A and B are shown apart, each in its own frame.
Chain A
Amino acid sequence: MQRKITEHIGSLAFVAIVFAVLLVLLKQREAADRQARVKAVAPYLSIPGCDFGNPRDRALFNETLNLFRPASPRANDTLISAMESYRQSQFTDPNLKTGAGEQGLTWHVLGRLSLMYLQFVLVYGIVLALTFYGAQSLGIYRFVRMKQGRGSYLEEFLHLVSGPKVRGRTPSRIMEASFLLLKTFLKGAAYAILFSPAYVIGYSFKASFETDSLLFMILLGVVSNGLLVNYANKFYTLLATENRKGYVETALVKNLSGEFFWNAPGGIAYRSILSLPRHFPGHVLQHIYLNARHQYFPTLKEQASFLITGLIIIEMALNIQGHLCYELLQNILYRQYDVVLTILFGIFLLVKVTDILVDVRHHREGLRYENKN
């Protein structure tokens, strides 16, 4: 365990050093670039009587340049465009503006970023908790359905349609088939939403709902990008793997219930899937669930990283102003690399803290499972 913690802290320190070095290098390079740009164009811009804001003067200068240096028309064009961009930067460069917002990483900017970061962490924590809970609930639901021997609604529909026809039961069969078809359609629609990238759902609702709210972001984080459905599938796979192990049969021999019908005596109650903490007293699912949950816990690290990817996509793609990743986008745009690196480090820190917490918790639970605690 100590080795894992050391590795996490080591990687945090490594990334911090890399970012710091990168920051210094970028600042130096930026300053050198600016100096080189000024040095290359300054002699021409200070030609007396030549106004480069005037198109005629510009054209004259271009022709003169081509006369003096006829062998290098490309270099002449490059010089002209460099002069033009330098002149433009005098008006557009935020660093040269007075009265504009603060540039670079100041205490004020850091304070503003901290608030956004806290908001990001809050959203992240809530979405992580909801998806962790939701993935387990969905996984158990699928597992119970599998144990009941039920396939998908479409399979049930096909079975019903192609099954033997009983005289006099046609109306009820049609009703049943329609109901199954409706369920198939609803399930398909749910899958379409769960697998949709956040920006597709976001834009679909943008004109009708307030998509900039925190609640919408949380909702989008949970239901979009395939996060919930993929991790539910992982939990289901773990349950199915556990179910194949020998202890399950031993438990059944020792008189634990192996009945999987909904709300039946000795079966599984719907509310036990949704309740927290989940308990299936006297049922073999209790042991299958606990063992699967223990193995599922480390995947929370992977889930956390993917969730952050999803949140970044949501904030960047939907242009949600005043949020951390929108700020990241803006600062990349204005080349404020110190702010960019600070935000990236904050995001990396969040992933690493999650990793450490998950590892510690998993280790402690592991000790309990191995009777070493």
Chain B
Amino acid sequence: MKTRTKGQAVFRFAQRSEQHVRWVCFWIAGLGLLWLWDLFFLNSPALSLVRTALFNSLLAGLLVVFFSMTLGWGTGLLVYSLEKRKNTLPYIVVTFVFNLIRSLPQIVGILLGYVLLTALIVQDILRSPFLQLVSMSFVVSLFVFLEVMDLIRERIAHYKQLDFFDAMLCCGIKESRIVNVEILRKNSLAHLVHKGVAVFGMALFLQCSIDFILSVGLSTEVSSTNFPATLGSMLARMDSKQDILAISMVFSDPSYVTSLFTRHLQGLNIAFALVFTLVCAYNIANGLVRRYHL
């Protein structure tokens, strides 16, 4: 009787499964391994901080996806209805505002948003850390949602050209139902999931970058210490920076590489979690493109 080892079974799974499923599994396994390694080699206060930062960053990323989808869907429909009703002035104003947001480098916009958030935190209006995280995510999504809006408009325009749209109208189905249910929910779900994954990666990158910049000392008031810990703010701590700086020691002393994974774990850990998540998000998105021919 033919028996199969566990290793072969893993190989078979990896070979047969679709790219996006495989990368989701890689991501979970990678973070799991990292956590195990940390359990053995990272001191418990640092481990607790890293865990909180990772959780906050992932939660913030998911919140950005949620806000971006909601804003993108809403504004996409708004622009579509204005365009359809030939409301020239409101249409011009709305597209002008959106193009203006598009032209503003995201990091600058988010930085300005963080200045506002700090004012709210200093005035004790935003007290709860969860509320702060939600507000941070909302600010990030304000500069990311346009991608979702473009996708929504593109999907509607694509289906509107087909006979399917007119046929449904002739059947007496309301246009709002055709757009929201038939086009977007039933026929564009894969596109939206793909965009959601891309937005998640982008949100993670932007949020970590902004937290890192804040730590450089943008001002005494706008400080990363005002906000909940994320991967970016953890990476910006002096001890984490020193861990990252230690990588360059390998160029002068290659044997030092073994010490990196035990003595400089905090910084490397955070950098790895961030980069690994970004790589996985990219591959999951690509897998979805390949699977659904997006």
Interface residues of A (CB under 8 A from B): 7, 10-11, 14-15, 154-155, 158-159, 161-162, 191-192, 195-197, 199-200, 203-209, 225-226, 229-230, 233, 237, 244, 301-302, 305-306, 308-309, 312-313, 316-317, 319, 329, 332-333, 335, 344, 347-348, 351-352, 355
Contacts and interface: CB of A to CB of B under 8 A. Distances in A.
Interface string B145-181: 0000000000000000000000000000000000000
Given A233-B286, A309-B105, A333-B217, A199 B212 contact: yes
Nearest to A355: B103
Interface stretch (B52-60, B73-81, B132-140, B239-247): B239-247
B107 A313 contact: yes
A203 B282 contact: no
Contacts of A319: 216
A333 B244 contact: no
Contacts of A351: 103-105
Contacts of A329: 213, 216, 218
Q: Is the interface of B mostly helix, strand, loop or mixed?
A: helix
Contacts of B213: 313, 316-317, 329
A154 B241 CA distance: 33
Contact of A208 (B208, B244, B252, B276): B252
Given A158-B15, A329-B216, A11 B103 contact: yes
Contacts of A207: 245, 248-249
Nearest to B219: A333
Contacts of B107: 309, 312-313
A192 B216 contact: no
Given A206-B245, A313-B209, A305 B105 contact: yes
Nearest to A146: B290
Contact of B219 (A10, A161, A332): A332
Nearest to A343: B108
A195 B100 contact: no
Contacts of B274: 197, 200
A316 B216 contact: yes
Given A162-B11, A195-B275, A203-B247, 19 more contacts: A11-B103, A158-B11, A162-B15, A197-B212, A200-B275, A204-B245, A205-B247, A206-B245, A207-B248, A226-B282, A301-B102, A305-B104, A305-B106, A313-B212, A313-B213, A316-B213, A317-B213, A344-B108, A355-B103
A230 B104 CA distance: 20
Contacts of B105: 305-306, 308-309, 312, 347, 351
Nearest to A205: B248
B244 A203 contact: yes
Contacts of A158: 11, 14-15
B15 A159 contact: yes
22 contacts: A14-B96, A162-B15, A195-B275, A200-B275, A203-B244, A205-B248, A206-B245, A209-B248, A226-B282, A233-B286, A305-B102, A305-B105, A313-B212, A316-B213, A317-B209, A317-B212, A329-B213, A332-B218, A333-B218, A333-B219, A335-B219, A347-B105
Interface string B87-112: 00000000110011011111110000
Contacts of A196: 271, 275
B205 A348 contact: no
Given A206-B248, A233-B286, A319-B216, A7 B241 contact: no
A28 to B, nearest CB: 18
B123 interface: no
Contact of A312 (B12, B14, B108, B275): B108
A353 to B, nearest CB: 11
A305 B107 CA distance: 10
Interface residues of B, number: 47
Nearest to A196: B275
B95 to A, nearest CB: 8
Nearest to B244: A203
A205 B252 CA distance: 11
A203 B245 contact: yes
Given A197-B205, A347-B105, A351-B105, A208 B251 contact: yes
Contacts of B265: none
A188 to B, nearest CB: 8
Nearest to A199: B212
B209 to A, nearest CB: 5
A347 B112 CA distance: 15
**Which of the listed residues A192, A203, A208, A352 has the most CB atoms from chain B within 10 Å of its own CB?**
A203
A229 B218 CA distance: 30
A229 B282 CA distance: 9
Contact of A305 (B103, B209, B251, B294): B103
B8 A162 contact: yes
B235 interface: yes
Interface in B182-218: 201, 205-206, 208-209, 212-213, 216-218
B278 to A, nearest CB: 4
Contacts of B282: 195, 226, 229-230, 233
Nearest to B201: A226
Given A159-B15, A207-B249, A351-B105, A192 B275 contact: yes
**Which of the listed residues A200, A208, A209, A229 has the most CB atoms from chain B within 10 Å of its own CB?**
A200
B279 interface: yes
Contacts of A206: 245, 248
Interface string B282-294: 1000100100011
A302 B209 CA distance: 19
Interface string B239-283: 001001101110110000000000000000001001110110010
A335 B219 CA distance: 9
A335 B275 CA distance: 34
A226 B219 contact: no
